[in-house]
Amino acid sequence: MYPETTPGTIRPGAGMSEDEAAAEARRIITDAYRPTAYRDDTPVPAHGTTPPVAQPGRPPMSQGATDASVLMLAGGTATAMVGGTAAVLMYVSQFADPVVCGLVFGAPTALVLALARLAKKAMPAPDVHHHYEGPVYQDRRNVHSRTTGVWAKTNNQH
């Protein structure tokens, strides 16, 4: 009268009352919709032995490398803007001299480079502090090395 059924299906008249059949149906539905994953909401420790995981976006690198890459991106953008402005100016005017445009648009770049070198040389030397315990001998000689020739010969002079 009923086709073959899989285990766990309910057939009317199989020795169950209406209430038992409804309870069995609720149990089967509850089992079918039970979550298959569990999320552990316990807080993760702030430090430990687990290595860091790379996040999407820029790859992990040192602070110096990050600063240098941002500086390169900014310099490339500035160069593209200056070059694009010069190109548009020459195209629109139809008689702009490329040498004059190079001087006008290159002067700010040369000025910035000169100021950067000046600022680098103007930085004070760092203070050096040494803390020793016990007898100490300090040798403060400078050694000047020079390597010359096809076969390298190094001369160290004190």
Structural domain boundaries in the chain: 67-122
**Model pLDDT, residue 24:** 92
pTM: 0.32
Over the chain, what is the mean pLDDT? 78
* Cβ–Cβ < 8 Å for 21, 10: yes
**Mean pLDDT value of segment 132-143:** 82
**Model pLDDT, residue 121:** 78
Class of residue 86 by CB neighbours under 10 A (exposed 0-12, middle 13-18, buried 19+): middle
pLDDT tens figures, 58-83: 777 888 888 888 888 998 898 888 88
Class of residue 87 by CB neighbours under 10 A (exposed 0-12, middle 13-18, buried 19+): middle
